[in-house]
Amino acid sequence: MLRFFRRIIDQIIHLRQKHLTEHQYVLILSIVVGFTSGMVAVILKNLTFFIQTRLREGIIQNYYIGFYFIFPLIGCFIVYLILKYIIKKKVSHGIPSTLYAISQKKGIMDKFQMYGSMLTAPITVGFGGSVGLEGPTCATGAAVGSNLARLFHTKQSTRILLIGCAAAGTMSSIFKAPIAGILFAIEVFSLDLTFVSMIPLILASVSAIITSYFFFGSERIMPYYIGQEFLVSEIPFYIALGIIAGLCSIYFAKAYDTLHKMFRRINTQIERLIIGGLALGALVYIMPPLYGEGFQTINDLIKGETATALMSPFFDADIENIWLVIAILSGLVFFKVIATSITFGAGGVGGIFAPTLFMGSIMGNILAKIINNFPFLKMHVSESCFTLVGMSGLLAGVLHAPLTAIFLIAELTGGYNLFIPLMITAAISFSFTKYFLKYSVYTVELGLQGKLITHNKDKVVLMFMQMDKVLETNFITVNYDGTLRDVINAIEHSSRNLFPVVDEEEQFKGVVYIDDIREIMFDSSLYDSTTIQSITTMPDELIFIEDTMQTVMDKFQRSNAWNLPVVDRGKYNGFVSKSKMFSVYRELLMDISNG
């Protein structure tokens, strides 16, 4: 069976090489990746909906509300068993794991990532884990794109572009927002894409949203359309919302990081599972809106049905005291990121995109309620509009993706009546957050380690460079136990001005530089009495075969050398020269610039 499959793949590759250009081939693959991302979104959403409906509406509402406390623990335990006995590998959070693959593994993602999140994320969210499905969906689609690229032997830049196509397709399919999907791929994955690269992203986004329409019809996650026009008198309030969103974004990042570190200090996964599962269960039991993604709560607030959104065994849903309602909503904003972090700490699999929307919607709704009920303002603003704009503000701050935030809400609402408020709030929130936090929640871990690939084209080019492309091996080696005569013989057959020195086992011992022996190289009486050991110099820096190109460049900068030796477990492999580095760099830069 495998041989048959391999023959089909080889035949496809042969036909492609014979009849298709590289660009045409990429366009076809981008459509396939977009369709796959759309299908992944459909499967994940339906599985989660099935589990959540059976548990929340079938058991909790019909039998006993106390199951809110126990279901999150059960879900995390099932995920633990799947990871330990079925997948047998750690399934990392969606977007950060994909960014890691781009930055550190040249876009190569393990095969288990194509199904790992699909098995674990619906259980996590369906049983009440306070996380989202967007990240796992994106990671699954990205893994499919990466492995598809490897299967059909595409180059590294194409592989990474297909990962971007998967990200665009994911957002396009889930939210039916094709433009926001493209912007998400560009902003969050921070690749320096060219105009030519945009076409595959567009095709992936379109094919994904068509897949979503085929299975879900015109149904949207947030079916709301803006009717009223934007009023200039509301600008100060949207400015205030932007500042509040920035503050909440900083709180989100700090709380998430603090709790993440706390769970890391717990010794075993079983301990993390029990502590996290019980803590999450307690939070969800006290505040049921924290259960799962929270899109139902968002929709209730947008429609003005606050009482429905605030169902809880600890307070009456028909609350008439507006300031008590505001206090409870503030509690949801405060505890949502805690519930999300605890879900991850307990071993759950999910993403932070939906929790960010949840917090942002409530934050905007709170401000609108304060404005409408503050006795001295005597103003009335649309709570629905502020709920939507609040989502945009927090997305811009937490994800550092203002364009994605603006166009996502604009597309969800089916128009651009809120475009100006969205721009004001998103821009202020992003600028405010960026001033205090250099990296987003997605990128902070890689960023602090100096391993993040950004819009900096230099880093992107260096990432694409490979050691075998810059390694030069046309140097004549001399033996460590030899004499100056051996060096003179090597000089006669070489155009190089340096000679690597190795022992009998090819272990690197240093370098003989012609400049160091110039004064004695013409005195034949010294040829046999001068040992190579006495004229060997060890360079200030050595390049190891596993070094990244960024590390190689740093070593050149520190040593001020023109050539540096490359070793692999102590054995000599060749040299890397600055001239070769610059030549390969220039070729790659032109290739990337041309898409």
Structure confidence at residue 463 as a pLDDT band (50, 70, 90): low
Q: Has residue 164 got a pLDDT over 60?
A: yes
Residue 435 is predicted with a pLDDT of: 92
Please indicate, yes or no, if residue 500 is contained in any of the structural domains.
Answer: yes
Please indicate, yes or no, if residue 253 is contained in any of the structural domains.
Answer: yes
37 and 151 in a single domain? The answer is: yes
Residue 112 is predicted with a pLDDT of: 87
Least confident window among 209-223, 270-284, 320-334: 209-223
Each residue of 472-497: pLDDT tens digit? 888 889 999 899 898 888 888 888 88
In angstroms, the Cα distances linking 535 to 464, 512, 522, 539, 569 are 38, 6, 15, 13, 24
117 and 207 in a single domain? The answer is: yes
Chain centroid, CA 256 distance in Å? 16
**Per 3-state DSSP, what percentage of the chain is helix, strand, and coil (rounded to 5)?**
65, 5, 25
Chain centroid, CA 71 distance in Å? 29
Please indicate, yes or no, if residue 221 is contained in any of the structural domains.
Answer: no
* C-alpha radius of gyration, the chain, whole number: 29
Q: Which ranges in 217-321 belong to alpha helices (H)?
A: 235-264, 269-286, 295-302, 306-309
203 and 241 in a single domain? The answer is: no
446 and 466 in a single domain? The answer is: no
pLDDT over 90 percentage in the chain: 39
Output the domain CATH number for residue 560: 3.10.580.10
Please give the backbone phi and psi of residue 499, each rounded to the nearest 5 degrees, phi first: -135, 120
Structure confidence at residue 343 as a pLDDT band (50, 70, 90): very high
Please indicate, yes or no, if residue 291 is contained in any of the structural domains.
Answer: yes
Q: Has residue 2 got a pLDDT over 60?
A: no
Residue 88 is predicted with a pLDDT of: 84
Residue 276 is predicted with a pLDDT of: 94
Tokens at 392, concatenated: 């945009």
Residue 460 is predicted with a pLDDT of: 65
Domain end point (choices 453, 486, 519): 453
Please indicate, yes or no, if residue 69 is contained in any of the structural domains.
Answer: yes
Each residue of 82-100: pLDDT tens digit? 999 998 888 877 788 888 8
Q: Are the C-beta atoms of 229 and 493 separated by less than 8 Å?
A: no
Question: What is the average per-residue pLDDT within 34-61?
Answer: 88
75 and 59 in a single domain? The answer is: yes
Q: Which amino acid is at 124?
A: T
Q: Has residue 538 got a pLDDT over 80?
A: yes
Please indicate, yes or no, if residue 224 is contained in any of the structural domains.
Answer: no
Q: Which one has a higher pLDDT value, 425 or 559?
A: 425
pTM over 0.75: yes
159 and 24 in a single domain? The answer is: yes
Please indicate, yes or no, if residue 544 is contained in any of the structural domains.
Answer: yes
Residue 468 is predicted with a pLDDT of: 79
End-to-end Cα distance, the chain:
37
Question: What is the average per-residue pLDDT within 57-63?
Answer: 74
Output the domain CATH number for residue 350: 1.10.3080.10
Question: What is the average per-residue pLDDT within 133-141?
Answer: 90
150 and 298 in a single domain? The answer is: no
Residue 418 is predicted with a pLDDT of: 86
Q: Has residue 17 got a pLDDT over 70?
A: no
Q: Which ranges in 518-568 belong to alpha helices (H)?
A: 532-535, 549-559
Q: Residue 333 is part of which domain span? A: 232-453
Please indicate, yes or no, if residue 225 is contained in any of the structural domains.
Answer: no
Q: Give the number of domains in the chain.
A: 3
355 and 412 in a single domain? The answer is: yes
Residue 450 is predicted with a pLDDT of: 59
Highest mean pLDDT among 9-13, 28-32, 361-365, 521-525: 361-365
Each residue of 138-151: pLDDT tens digit? 989 989 888 888 87
205 and 248 in a single domain? The answer is: no
32 and 127 in a single domain? The answer is: yes
Q: Has residue 239 got a pLDDT over 90?
A: yes
**Distance, CA of 270 to CA of 455 (rounded, Å):** 40
Domain end point (choices 418, 453, 488): 453
Q: Are the C-beta atoms of 377 and 371 separated by less than 8 Å?
A: yes
**Distance, CA of 97 to CA of 142 (rounded, Å):** 10
Question: What is the average per-residue pLDDT within 138-166?
Answer: 85
Highest mean pLDDT among 15-29, 75-89, 312-326, 449-463: 75-89
Q: Has residue 232 got a pLDDT over 90?
A: no
Q: Has residue 546 got a pLDDT over 90?
A: no
Q: Which one has a higher pLDDT value, 375 or 401?
A: 401
Domain end point (choices 182, 216, 250): 216
Structure confidence at residue 10 as a pLDDT band (50, 70, 90): low
275 and 293 in a single domain? The answer is: yes
328 and 199 in a single domain? The answer is: no
